[in-house]
Every structure is written in C-alpha cells, then in structure tokens.
Chain A
C-alpha cells in the first residue's frame, strides 16, 4: 500500500459519503412507510400507562414494527430506570 493509497482511504470522496447517507435514509424512510399508522399513538399511550408506576423518560420506550413475508413483529422495548428513581 503506497502512501498515496493511505491518504485516499482515510479521506472518502464526498460522493461516497452522499451514497452512504442516502442508503441509510432511504432504507429508514421506506420501512417507516409500511408501519401501521397507530404506532405513534400506541407509543404515547404506553408511556402514559407505564409512567403511572415507574418514572421513565420520554425516550425509554421504543416501538418497532417489522414485516417479513409471512409474519409481522411488533417489538416493544422499555428501559427501566435505576431503583432509586422509582416513584414512591
């Protein structure tokens, strides 16, 4: 590997940065398009219920929807706070 190659690999071209950013963005936007429309509302209501018992942050809940050929998976992830943060 020559010195020139070293510099090339450390500094990607702006076009390759553009491509990478677009691939991530487009994949994300395509997947969110197929999500059921009730997801944001579901997330909000779940948060309200959980907050009755545990003092969790706004971003402590993530709701994910995935679709395969023959099944749909609704994934719910709740991060509980440390013991001393609990309500009463």
Chain B
C-alpha cells in the first residue's frame, strides 16, 4: 500500500514545488517507486522544475476525465527509473478536479507505487484541499517569515478537519515541518525567526531545515531537482529530510552560521 504525502503551505512561493521535486527524487533514488503529482491545475510548474516539460502529452485532468489512461499520462524520469511524474493541466481550471476523480487516480497509483507525492497549489481552494484530502503524511513547507507561519498554521487546521482521515475518524494525518529559505546569519542578527521560534509557534515535528541557497535557483534553471546537486547545502539538506522521513536518525545541519575563514570574511560570496 502506498503512502500518500502532500506538500503544502498555504502561502505561495515558499518552496512547495522545489520540495516536491526534491523529496520525490530522493525517495526514488533510495529505491522506492515514487510518483509525483502536480495539483496546480492551470499553473503547472512541476514539469519545468523536474525538467520534463517537453515530454508532457497527457495530464491529471485528462486521466480524471477518462481521455487518457494513467500509464499514458505518467512521465518516467530519465535520471531515475523509479520516479514518475503526473503533470497538471495547463489549460483547464481547478474546477476540473473532482474528489471522486482524484480518489480514483490515487487509488490506481497506490497499487503500483510505494510513495505518491502531491504537490499542492498555493491557497486554500479546490486544488489545495484535494491535494491534501487523501494524504497520510503532510510536509508543511514554511519560511521563517510572519505571513508564511500564519498560513501554515491555517493549513494545519484544515489538515486536521477537512481530510479523509479526519472525516472517517481515522488516525490523523502525520504533519511535519520543513523550514525553507533559512538564513542562519540573519537569525543570529535577530532579523529572522529561528527554527525554535517557528517550532514553538506551530508545535510541529521538524523534518528539516533547508538553507537559503543559490543552488535552488541554479537547479530549477536547468530542470534538475536540487537534491541531485549533492555538493550543495540545499541538496544535502533535502537528502537529510528524505532519510529522516524514512526513519534514519540524522542530526540537523545548516541551522548555525557557517564559520567563515579569513578568505570567507574578505570575499563574502553569499
């Protein structure tokens, strides 16, 4: 039976798609057959971040409407044969998604895949609520910034009340905090909320901290999930996140300011 993960945040631009691409690739690289679905109907972007935008033929809405079979719409990743991408429709709007339709697609995916990662759109409308409705686990992507933290708290309320698990009185969705775009040096200066601050406000289990990093933009520029950039701090941080999610005990990194040597002090590159 597959585990369904929703990557959510409420607020836009905090790193949901970057995170979805990274963790899906990470899980697949560890040998787990993984599918990643773009729920942002009308504004699809996961294909671009994954680097498969020119291979999109059919999409999620086509499958829901019975215009294409699931196997026709799934795009196999060229770098990892355990990973498949189900893109969103670019031309339709979110009303094209139905709870029955999404449920059927996920049920079919669950037979074949170990993990299904749902990349939620921003907001709390249909695409976002459907992306989380069937979830077993939720990765709440949050920036250390007031509006993002507030929206994350709002999403926690929705996760707890408007999911299939909540409606059926089952065990609630497991919620994890993923703090992204973190700048340890700004935290030290008192200019940014710290990991502890955000954890205290949201009281969530911390899955990982992704530092603000040039490698994220570099990766999306070239359509490569940042986790494949093994030399980068963000890539390593996502690798830790995947390992922790799978039960490995890894200490948190990139939370403290990196010590700069004389060279670093003279030539501040960050």
Contacts and interface: CB of A to CB of B under 8 A. Distances in A.
B191 A30 contact: no
Interface stretch (A8-16, A45-53, A63-71, A79-87): A8-16
Nearest to A34: B157
Interface residues of A, number: 14
Contact of B197 (A19, A30, A33): A19
Interface in A4-37: 13-16, 18-19, 21-23, 25-26, 29-30, 33
B187 A30 contact: no
Contacts of A21: 146
Interface of B: 145-146, 149-150, 153-154, 157, 187, 189-194, 197, 200-202
7 nearest A-B residue pairs (beta carbon): A13-B190, A19-B197, A15-B190, A26-B153, A18-B146, A22-B201, A15-B193
Given A19-B197, A22-B201, A14 B191 contact: yes
Contacts of B189: 13
Contact of A30 (B153, B190, B193, B194): B153
Contacts of B145: 18
B268 to A, nearest CB: 21
Contacts of A15: 187, 190-194, 197
B157 A33 contact: yes
B152 to A, nearest CB: 10
Contacts of A29: 150, 153-154
B150 A25 contact: yes
B157 to A, nearest CB: 6
Nearest to B203: A26
B202 to A, nearest CB: 8
A30 B157 contact: yes
B157 A26 contact: no
Given A15-B187, A19-B193, A29-B154, 4 more contacts: A14-B191, A15-B193, A19-B197, A25-B150
